[in-house]
Amino acid sequence: MRIPKITIAQALAFVIAVGLPSLALAQQGETERAGPIALAPGAGNDALITQRIASIFEQIPQFKSLQVGVNSGVVAISGQIANEAQAQRALKLASRIEGAIAVDDRVVRTLDLQDNLNPLWDSLQDSLHGWIRALPLLLVALSIFVIVAFAGHRLAAYTPLWSRLTKNPFLAELAGHAVRLATILLGLLLALNILGATALMGTLLGGAGVLGLAISFAVKDSMENYISSIMLSIRQPFRAQEHVTINDYEGVVVRLTSRSTVLMTLEGNHLRIPNATVFKAVILNYTRNPQRRFDFVLGVDAEDDPALAIQTGLAALQQLEWVLGDPEPNGIIESVGDSSILIKFMAWIDQRESDYGKARSLSIRTAKNALETQASPYPNPSTGCVSTNLPPSWVPRMHLNGPKRGAQAQLNPHLRRRQAMC
């Protein structure tokens, strides 16, 4: 037996054809009450139900034109009413009466403009009169809120107080913001308490919590930077006006904000680094220890005595007023080449009294002059040349910068040609 294919459209048409009639019958104007139904309702009960519903409708202006009839516990309501909302309200009230089995809706919705606008106008008038009566109380509550909030603002702006509590400027600013927010919430709570609307405060705080949670997901990066700024303020890896290197960025700290750390680079540019990046970065602080070492490398001729060169350079450095005696300057042989010996000099300065760049530059000049006075000029390894085909007596040291100081080398044409080739 072959089963015919049923398309989605055919199935949907079947559901609509079967469901719509039943839906129409269900909305045909009767409201049944759930629960057991009495076996034999009496006429006395019908009269009591009619009297009770009619007395209720008499107390509601919108329902005075409705007629009520009850037969065997079935309530029939007829008449005219302004709109659907009022009709549903009347039906619900009738269905709540004890003994009413079902409610037959025979009410006509007139949708009259005047009948629908008059209740709204009356409601607006009542609300306006209520606001006018509560105006003095509102003014008192508003005055208290303004006074408390203003006092909190003045207290938060009093910088000397927060500077005494913490030496960190950012933490002092954060404490001021916290006091300002706390006083605003206190003023709002007092104002709502005067108005008798303290429950509204809980609703507002609950809504603010949900809203804050939603916003925190939307501004995740900003929240991360803000929390990182608090952690940086507590740990204090650097302070304002300190020379630091953060990863590959070097400069002087200008300030720490809630979102970024501002550096003044050595070229005079403002550099903003997100606090989340700073918190995770490798930070090198040059200023935290006032004593800082500088070093430089100078070269002497390979034939010179390196120990004497180190002694000469250190003696020159020790005479400089900005070079500290403790720790003492030091010198070591960095490397030995074919034509030169590189010597590394190290010395310490106090950064509070001397500029690092200037002190290093002047120290290099002083040591260089001392070595040039004591020994030969600084050799250039890339320009030096030694001839191996000549007798030893004919092989002096040769440099493009000139012969060694004090040496009277007599070069024959053959040697000059080799020097030119070098």
Token pair belonging to 194: 């005067």
Residue 368 pLDDT: 92
Classified as helix, coil or strand, 112 is: coil
Instruction: Measure the CA–CA gap between 94 and 325, rounded to whole angstroms.
Output: 104
By the 10 Å C-beta count (0-12 exposed, 13-18 middle, 19+ buried), 22 is classed as exposed
Write the CB contacts of 142 (distance below 8 Å, at least 6 apart in sequence).
191
The pLDDT value given to residue 282? 93
CA–CA gap between residue 257 and residue 335 (Å, rounded): 47
Token code pair at residue 31: 């409201």
* pTM confidence score: 0.48
What span, in angstroms and rounded, lies between the C-alpha atoms of 73 and 49?
Answer: 8
pLDDT of residue 91: 87
For residues 252 and 115, what is the distance between their CA atoms, to the nearest angstrom?
Answer: 76
Note the pLDDT of residue 104: 86
DSSP code of 376? P
Give the DSSP H or E segment for 69: strand 67-71
Q: Are 320 and 366 in contact, with CB atoms under 8 Å apart?
A: yes
**CB neighbours of 14 closer than 8 A, spacing ≥ 6?**
none
pLDDT of residue 417: 35
User: Which pLDDT score is estimated for 339?
Assistant: 85
Q: How far is CA 229 from the centre of its chain?
A: 9
86 Cα distance to chain centroid: 51
pLDDT of the residue at 271? 94
CB 232 within 8 A of CB 256: yes
CA distance 91 to 95: 6
pLDDT tens by residue, 289-305: 999 999 999 998 888 88
pLDDT at residue 31, rounded to an integer: 56
Q: Are strands 270-274 and 102-109 parallel, antiparallel or unpaired?
A: unpaired
Question: Residue 345: beta bridge partners?
Answer: 296, 331
Cα(125)–Cα(144) distance, rounded to whole angstroms? 29
Joined together, the tokens standing for residue 413 give: 């044409």
Reduce the DSSP state of residue 409 to 3 states and report it.
coil
The secondary structure of 232-293 as a DSSP string is HHHH-S--TT-EEEETTEEEEEEEE-SSEEEEEETTS-EEEEEHHHHHHS-EEESSSSSEEE
Mean pLDDT, contiguous 10-residue spans, the chain (422 residues): 46 47 43 51 74 88 85 86 84 86 85 71 80 85 90 84 74 80 87 76 68 69 84 86 92 90 93 93 92 92 88 92 91 89 93 90 93 63 42 37 37 36 37
Tell me the pLDDT tens digit for each residue of 346-383: 999 998 898 888 999 999 999 999 988 875 544 544 44
Write the DSSP assignment of 349-361 as a string of letters: EETTTS-HHHHHH
Q: Where are the alpha helices (DSSP H) in 2-134?
A: 8-26, 43-58, 84-95, 113-133
Q: SS3 letters for 204-249?
A: HHHHHHHHHHHHHHHCHHHHHHHHHHHHHHHHCCCCCCCEEEECCE
C-alpha 24: how far from chain center: 57
Whole-angstrom distance, CA of residue 337 vs CA of residue 370: 22
Would you state the pLDDT for residue 43? 57
CB of 100 closer than 8 Å to CB of 70: yes
* Separation between Cα atoms, residue 26 and residue 17, nearest integer Å: 15
Tell me what percent of the residues of the chain surpass a pLDDT of 70: 72
**Are 92 and 107 within 8 A, CB to CB?**
no
Domains assigned to the chain: 29-113 (3.30.1340.30), 136-218 (1.10.287), 223-285 (2.30.30.60), 291-374 (3.30.70.100), 392-421 (no CATH)
Per-residue model confidence (pLDDT) at position 127: 82
